[in-house]
Amino acid sequence: MPDLTVMRRHYQHEGLAEDQLAGDPFRQFARWFHEAVEAGVVEPNAMVVSTADAEGLPSSRTVLLKGYDPRGFVFFTNYGSRKGTDLAANPNASLLFPWIGLARQVVIGGRVEKVGRDETAAYFRTRPHGSQLGAWASEQSSPVADRAVLEQRYADLAARYPEGEGVPVPPFWGGYRVVPRTVEFWQGRENRLHDRLRFVAEGDGWRVERLCP
Ligand SMILES: Cc1cc2nc3c(=O)[nH]c(=O)nc-3n(C[C@H](O)[C@H](O)[C@H](O)COP(=O)(O)O)c2cc1C
């Protein structure tokens, strides 16, 4: 068993200074996202989404970021899943990009809204045929007796919608857009004196504050 108390990396990364920061969090995110891609981070668009249910009980899971622009950050999922029922009761979420290889993380907090059905349909059509069927086959987050039940559902759907045939968008499936209120850029530095610069929405613009590490 490795000794976890001595497992730590020594960060010697370049810092993130106020005068280097882009004017808004979307452009800053674009820069860092590009750098994560260039650095070969595995699935750089994988992010941890945290939600809370009506009682305030939190839960987290990884999903893939499928788009972002000044309106917010978009992912797709099953609206009946645990995250879906959480968001119906409490439309707030936190997104976390753990770009560990670069000693970076981005943490976004904001309100969540469903994307329009046209936007969902446009994305659904870009998914491989098998993923489209998979979205129909899975009552995401519900218990299932065994794997065979899922495979049978998938086979029935594949018979109904053979490859090349249009698969309709499941009504229970679609996108969420997280409209950020805060976006924090964290850069690991020497001696645990990390840089933390946080954009906070203010009126039509953004205020930047530095947080203690
Ligand atoms: C790398 C990775 C990417 C994932 N991407 C998605 C995704 O884009 N959408 C999704 O619904 N689930 C995705 N999942 C599965 C979720 O983590 C989760 O198991 C599922 O959405 C059910 O979550 P819930 O029961 O908390 O609602 C992904 C998992 C991993 C590990």
pLDDT at 27 over 90: yes
CA distances in angstroms from 163 to 122, 126, 158, 182, listed in the order given: 18, 14, 8, 43
CB neighbour list of residue 190: distance below 8 Å, 6 or more residues apart: 10, 11, 12
Ligand 1 center–CA 209 separation, angstroms: 32
Ligand 1 center–CA 208 separation, angstroms: 31
Average pLDDT value over all residues in the chain: 97
**What one-character DSSP code corresponds to residue 14?**
-
**Is ligand 1 within 6 A of the CB of residue 77?**
yes
**Is ligand 1 within 6 A of the CB of residue 82?**
yes
Residue corresponding to tokens 């970021």: 65
CA distances in angstroms from 17 to 30, 60, 69, 170, listed in the order given: 17, 30, 23, 45
Distance from the Cα of residue 88 to its chain's centroid:
17
Give start and end residues of each alpha helix (H) in the chain.
Answer: 25-38, 82-89, 117-126, 129-137, 147-160
**191: exposed, middle or buried (Cβ count in 10 Å: 0-12, 13-18, 19+):** exposed
Number of neighbouring beta carbons within 10 Å of residue 108: 24
pLDDT for 182-201, tens place per residue?
A: 999 999 999 999 999 999 99
Separation between Cα atoms, residue 107 and residue 121, nearest integer Å = 28
Separation between Cα atoms, residue 32 and residue 23, nearest integer Å = 14
pLDDT at 4 over 90: yes
Q: What is the pLDDT of residue 12?
A: 83
Show the CA angle centred on residue 194, arms to residues 190 and 198, nearest 5°.
Answer: 160
Ligand 1 pocket check: which of 42, 48, 63, 177 to mutate, most ligand atoms within 8 Å of Cβ? 63
pLDDT for 51-70, tens place per residue?
A: 999 999 999 999 999 999 99
Separation between Cα atoms, residue 172 and residue 80, nearest integer Å = 6
> Which domains are seen in the chain, by residue range?
10-124+173-210 (2.30.110.10)
Task: Kindly report whether the global pTM for this prediction surpasses the value 0.95.
Answer: yes
- Tokens describing residue 175: 């996108």
Average pLDDT over residues 148-155: 97
